Amino acid sequence: MDRNVSDVVAIDRNVSDVAFKNVNNTLVEASNQTNLKWPLIIFAILSLLGFVGFSIKVFVEGVGSQQWGYHAALVAFLLSSIQSAPMVAIAPRVAKAHWRRSTSRIAEIFGLLGIVNLLLFIPLMWILPSLADGRRSLWFYDALEGVSPYSPHIWAILAIVVLAFLGVFYLWLSLLPDFAILRDHSKVGTVRKKIFKFLSGRWWGSSSNWYMHKHRLGIVGAHYFMLLVFVHFLYSMDFCMSLVPGWIDALFPITHAANALQAGVAVFIVTMYIIYRFGGYREYIGLDQFWALSRLLFALSLLWFWFWFSSFIILWYGGKPSERFVLELLMAGPYIYVFIPVFILNFAGPLLIMMWNAVRKSILGPTIVSIGVLIGTMLDRVRLYVGAYSVSTEPDKYALHSVPNTIWPQFSSDVLLWIGSISAVILLYLMVAKLIPLVNIAEQKELLLYKLHKEFHRTKVMVLGKPE
């Protein structure tokens, strides 16, 4: 049942200070008591493998573009998963959904992890062939003179740097009230107290503080979404499609971004399940969150097929030799054994499993499907980027005349780089989880003002007010 916020607050004026203190104590203690010593050590060691793999790739294998396909696929996978996950916090906050209050922080932390992907992206700036080498580009053509051939590189690096900055800034904005609570109520050492005092700035909980906080979150969230789509556009065009002669697909950039939303929801559900199972937050994370996100994941899985088929039918029905070679390269040729699992894990599997209400309305069902979606997204990025980088030295930039063989990953470089990079992402997430609560304290306290239990006929129901 929904009531106007004024009615609910008027009814619930007797929300005691004890309830607010209980929220403070429960969430602050859950953050302080989390034992992450051994996970931090393990993932720190595994992160070093990424540095070893990168060193081998640079100093042993060289900087030939064909050897960097798996590196480009790794950046695309992290862009499509961890850097898309903050949308799970941004979109429900705009929609004023109450269920997201206990899980928004889990998604917002992923914005900070974009720093890892930024560091991985930088080497690709030197690997990508410049326009002076004859690479195709959406932006410039041979007839134009006086244009720097490195302009796409500059735009791409600026876009991904700003995206990483917005992710960090959005997390900090969301944390401002909690930093003030930790500053005033957390029983930690003097050093951490000073850190919380510095990060909380001039936050004292005044009306102007809350007003600016709300509107700044909305503005920064909207800009993050727009820039996320733009980064997908730039990266998929300049670092993938432009490397394959004859591949012309106007839908590919938005397909890349839409598939990223599916992967972002999937990585969030998996993370939420781990925190629900091992993090000590079962009082705040439950069936409502998994059920709400399972429906979104189901819809995005159907959208995956729509975008794929819309691009496939154009290339297949056109039937030009260059288009047939593109289809053979990406779907029917050397990477067919990658494409089949992608189709099953990203579309067919979620369709056949999530169509059942009992599975959607569960905790374990959406988690299992999400793991499959993440594996499928990883394979899909490998299929696209490794295939694209395998033909980047094609002499004819307007048509593909032959399909290259499959490029397999090198364990000494590619596999170690993937393991180390993903471990670095997990390590950074664990470090943040050790410092701050994974449930937004201020929003949980705010929720107490919007809900109450009221008799309705022979039972009691929870009445939720709307913020506006």
Domain for residue 466, yes or no? no
Q: Give the span between the Cα atoms of 199 and 262, in whole angstroms.
A: 33
Distant-in-sequence, close-in-space partners of 119: CB < 8 Å, separation ≥ 6: none
> What is the number of H-type helices and E-type strands within the chain?
20, 3
Domain for residue 453, yes or no? no
The tokens of 145 are what? 């003179």
Contact call for residues 451 and 464 (beta carbons, < 8 A): yes
What is the pTM assigned to this prediction? 0.90
For residue 90, which phi and psi values (nearest 5 degrees)? -70, -50
Q: Is 36 helix (H, G, I), strand (E, B) or coil?
A: coil
Confidence band, pLDDT 50/70/90 cuts, at residue 111: very high
Contact call for residues 196 and 436 (beta carbons, < 8 A): no
Q: Give the span between the Cα atoms of 442 and 184, in whole angstroms.
A: 13
Instruction: Render pLDDT for 423-462 as a digit per residue (tens, 0 to 9).
Output: 999 999 999 988 888 888 888 877 777 777 778 788 888 7
Instruction: Render pLDDT for 335-385 as a digit per residue (tens, 0 to 9).
Output: 999 999 999 999 999 999 999 999 999 999 999 999 999 999 999 999 999
Q: Is 369 helix (H, G, I), strand (E, B) or coil?
A: helix
How high is the mean pLDDT of the chain?
85
Q: Give the span between the Cα atoms of 389 and 412, in whole angstroms.
A: 19
Domain for residue 160, yes or no? yes
The predicted structure's pLDDT at residue 130: 67
The predicted structure's pLDDT at residue 22: 66
Total domain count, the chain = 1
Q: Where are the alpha helices (DSSP H) in 57-137?
A: 69-80, 87-94, 104-112, 114-121, 124-127
Order of strands across the sheet that contains 459-465: 2-3, 459-465, 451-456
Domain for residue 186, yes or no? yes
Closest among 293, 270, 295, 275 to 285, alpha carbons compared: 275
Check pLDDT > 70 for residue 51: yes
Instruction: Render pLDDT for 116-166 as a digit per residue (tens, 0 to 9).
Output: 999 999 998 888 776 666 667 776 554 445 555 556 678 888 999 999 999
Instruction: Render pLDDT for 225-274 as a digit per residue (tens, 0 to 9).
Output: 999 999 999 999 989 998 888 888 889 999 999 999 999 999 999 999 99
Check pLDDT > 50 for residue 415: yes
Distant-in-sequence, close-in-space partners of 296: CB < 8 Å, separation ≥ 6: 265
Give the domain extent around 159.
Answer: 64-406
Instruction: Render pLDDT for 171-214 as a digit per residue (tens, 0 to 9).
Output: 999 999 888 888 877 666 677 778 888 888 888 888 888 889 88
Domain for residue 255, yes or no? yes
Q: Give the span between the Cα atoms of 362 and 369, in whole angstroms.
A: 12
Between 75 and 196, the higher pLDDT residue: 75
Domain for residue 179, yes or no? yes
Domain for residue 8, yes or no? no
| Residue showing tokens 């709300």 | 214
The predicted structure's pLDDT at residue 4: 44
Q: Give the span between the Cα atoms of 235 and 114, in whole angstroms.
A: 15
Give the CA distances from residue 153 to residues 102, 110, 225, 343, 442, in Å, rounded to whole numbers and listed in that order.
39, 25, 21, 32, 41
Check pLDDT > 90 for residue 43: yes
Domain for residue 340, yes or no? yes
The predicted structure's pLDDT at residue 451: 74
Between 318 and 376, the higher pLDDT residue: 376
